[in-house]
Structure 1
């Protein structure tokens, strides 16, 4: 989440209450998106929103859009004050926005906020979920777990710190993750 926040806005999630609120919003949206929805099974009643999931999600999206509007306004004020560019996604999109408008593109501020919201929601829990699934599968397959542990012991021994570049020398673990 911090990586996304720095890539999009050049700020850490702990840098202000609105950004922390975005973090909470993304967590709640993820839970709502994974909740079983009666409307998925009975599309004819979808408009009734019996469980209130659509209404709750709409409120979360509205909150996210407010936070993004704040970030955009802060950036525009900073630009007017002569502050240097941050060369993040927000700067790139703001630079292109004027050009898109002249071309008559359908990409407007709402589309940009939608893109950023999608990035945050889709980019946050996917890695965590993948790791949880892999660990659950390993717990269900003791023989595979034994082989993974054996490979790790053989390659690293008592080494406590593992680097990302070390993954290249762990073919069995790579296969398990894939």
Structure 2
């Protein structure tokens, strides 16, 4: 089966310009062109794009992807393990940032005022800052997954009572599974 740029872009949810860029850097060359010069992609090209996008989802750079597509399994494994290590370092850095933010909030005037906020007021503040309920839920879910103790402290900081905190934490643990 041979598909056009528009069809492969729509199928994978990428822009046409992304595919043209991949062509320009020799990452994904179309197998053929029609009489009008339009790019046509074969099943093998489609599979190559699937792999490229999978590596991109894992945070692998385009330069590394170009090498990975021709690499042996051992090299792919080594690069993915390296990427996993980088992600672990990023997660640790974010956890440290969360802890610092909690300490700053505890020591600020805002902290004294947070104790008097109810959930609706807090959500209104987040909304006015451009943070939707969905984004807030995703953030809390990630916070709970990666730093449950700091998340508990944060919820305490917001003035939630013990029962509300248990309910909120359970809700955010289940949020990922939806």
Interval containing the TM-score (normalised by the shorter chain): under 0.3
TM-score (norm 1): 0.27
Q: Which has the larger radius of gyration?
A: 2
Bigger proportion of residues as helix: 1
Q: TM-score, normalised by structure 2?
A: 0.27
